[in-house]
């Protein structure tokens, strides 16, 4: 399949063979204009270094497997962006497979990427409480796994996020609070932090349960509002559910934040597009993806590596303010 050799690419680009090799193996060490010249010349000549033979010799595929519940969920897209940028700087590529939030599909996805002899792997939101299959020397890094017993994890301090939301409502003088949660460990931890902070202030709060969907947010808010008219602040476990809560409040003619303040969770792109723009607890998804890739690269390099816990931040927008 090769129609030109590295020698010819080097000659026509006016650089050494070593430089051409670096463009394809360690691009960050070559000046961008030189890179571009070499890549264009290589493209014109139909040259591409074959990785297959090389990998058999080096015993490395230069591939990272990535298993993600659903690529079209924006938060995961940001995580993938962070992973990809770190890999790109090391000349590695990413093999992507979806788990569709299902343990059997996740196992199939893992087997699928393992067939390509990936050097390492990252799993976003694993559903499984057991380790995925891995050949000796290969490790999976988990972003936000449902179970905390897995060895290499990149996680958010969800309880700290709950505390941030509670403190913000207290600071704003809100006293009639509610939490709208969803199934799973993350929501429980968010609630735990929220409840702890309120309890220190001697306050109770009401609870409703959704499933992270917009509709479930509307229904949970309707339930809360039907049971009592006294509600001036709602903390919601996800931004999409919070969109549903805002809709329930609009429909009843309740002003946000005048009558009811709302805080979401994740700070997905959506949050700043809602009306009013949603105050949210930010999950630094891009940085978490980058950290997972770094952790994976350390393991691939045979170094020791530690799990990482990220701290969330409160991002204030229009859905919170004084009563």
Footprint of its own copies on 230-269 (CB under 8 A): 240, 243, 246-247, 250, 269
Minimum CB distance to its own copies smaller for 11 or for 60: 60
Q: Contact between 196 and its own copies (CB under 8 A)?
A: no
For 8, 18, 61, the CA distances from 12, given in Å and listed in that order, are: 6, 14, 29
| Residue 76 Rama label (left phi>0; alpha psi -120 to 50; beta) | alpha
Q: Contact between 21 and its own copies (CB under 8 A)?
A: no
Q: Contact between 24 and its own copies (CB under 8 A)?
A: yes
Site for its own copies (CB under 8 A): which residue of 5, 14, 46, 322? 46
Q: Which residues are within 8 A (CB) of 159 and not within 5 positions of it... i.e. 6 or more apart?
A: 189, 190, 192, 193, 196
279 vs 256: CA distance, rounded Å: 11
Q: Which stretch binds its own copies (CB under 8 A): 14-22, 39-47, 152-160, 165-173?
A: 39-47
Site for its own copies (CB under 8 A): which residue of 12, 107, 287, 308? 107
Cβ atoms 265, 241 nearer than 8 A:
no
Q: Which residues of 306-319 are buried (b: 16+ CB within 10 A; e: fewer)?
A: eebebebebbebeb
Q: Which of residues 123-152 bind its own copies (CB under 8 A)?
A: 132-138
Site for its own copies (CB under 8 A): which residue of 10, 20, 30, 63? 63
**Kind plus residue range of the DSSP H or E element containing 37:** helix 32-45
The candidate with the shortest Cα–Cα distance to 131, out of 77, 72, 67, is: 67
Q: Contact between 108 and its own copies (CB under 8 A)?
A: yes
- What minimum distance in Å lies between the beta carbon of 170 and its own copies? 28
Minimum CB distance to its own copies smaller for 108 or for 307: 108
Site for its own copies (CB under 8 A): which residue of 16, 29, 111, 311? 111
Q: Contact between 55 and its own copies (CB under 8 A)?
A: yes
Q: Which of residues 149-178 bind its own copies (CB under 8 A)?
A: none
Cβ atoms 68, 124 nearer than 8 A:
yes
Structure tokens at 74: 């924006």
Minimum CB distance to its own copies smaller for 94 or for 314: 94
Which burial class, exposed, middle or buried, applies to 229 when counting CB atoms under 10 A from its CB (0-12, 13-18, 19+)? exposed
For 99, 126, 130, 144, 162, the CA distances from 240, given in Å and listed in that order, are: 21, 21, 29, 18, 17
- What minimum distance in Å lies between the beta carbon of 16 and its own copies? 18
Minimum CB distance to its own copies smaller for 70 or for 311: 70
Q: Which of residues 264-323 bind its own copies (CB under 8 A)?
A: 269-270, 272-275
Q: Which of residues 80-99 bind its own copies (CB under 8 A)?
A: 80-81, 84, 88, 91, 93-98
- What minimum distance in Å lies between the beta carbon of 123 and its own copies? 14
- What minimum distance in Å lies between the beta carbon of 39 and its own copies? 5
Beta-strand pair 205-209/308-310: unpaired
Minimum CB distance to its own copies smaller for 92 or for 225: 92
Q: Which residues are within 8 A (CB) of 282 and not within 5 positions of it... i.e. 6 or more apart?
A: 266, 267, 312, 313, 314, 315
């Amino acid at each position: 399949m090769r129609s030109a050799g590295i020698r010819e690419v080097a000659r026509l680009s006016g650089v050494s063979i070593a430089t051409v090799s670096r463009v394809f193996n360690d691009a960050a060490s070559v000046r961008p204009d030189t890179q571009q010249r070499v890549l264009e010349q290589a493209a014109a000549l139909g040259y591409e270094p074959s990785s297959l033979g090389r990998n058999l010799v080096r015993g490395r595929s230069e591939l990272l497997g990535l298993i993600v519940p659903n690529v079209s969920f924006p938060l995961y897209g940001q995580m993938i962006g962070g992973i990809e940028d770190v890999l790109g700087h090391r000349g590695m590529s990413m093999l992507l497979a979806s788990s569709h939030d299902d343990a059997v599909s996740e196992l199939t996805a893992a087997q699928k990427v393992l067939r390509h002899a990936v050097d390492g792997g990252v799993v976003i939101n694993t559903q499984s409480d057991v380790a995925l299959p891995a050949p000796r020397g290969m490790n999976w890094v988990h972003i936000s796994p449902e179970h905390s017993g897995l060895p290499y994890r990149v996680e958010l301090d969800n309880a700290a996020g709950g505390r941030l939301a509670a403190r913000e409502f207290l600071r704003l003088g809100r006293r009639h609070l509610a939490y709208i949660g969803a199934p799973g460990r993350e929501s429980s931890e968010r609630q735990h932090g929220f409840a702890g902070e309120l309890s220190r202030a001697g306050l109770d709060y009401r609870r409703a349960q959704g499933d992270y969907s917009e509709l479930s947010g509307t229904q949970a808010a309707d339930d809360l509002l039907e049971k009592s008219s006294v509600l001036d602040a709602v903390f919601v476990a996800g931004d999409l559910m919070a969109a549903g809560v805002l809709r329930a409040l609009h429909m009843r003619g309740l002003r946000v934040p005048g009558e009811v303040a709302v805080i979401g969770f994740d700070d997905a792109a959506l949050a700043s597009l809602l009306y009013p723009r949603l105050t949210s607890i930010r999950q630094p998804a891009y940085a978490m993806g980058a950290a997972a890739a770094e952790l994976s690269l350390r393991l691939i390099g045979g170094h020791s590596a530690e799990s990482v816990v990220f701290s969330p931040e409160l991002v204030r927008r229009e859905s919170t303010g004084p009563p």
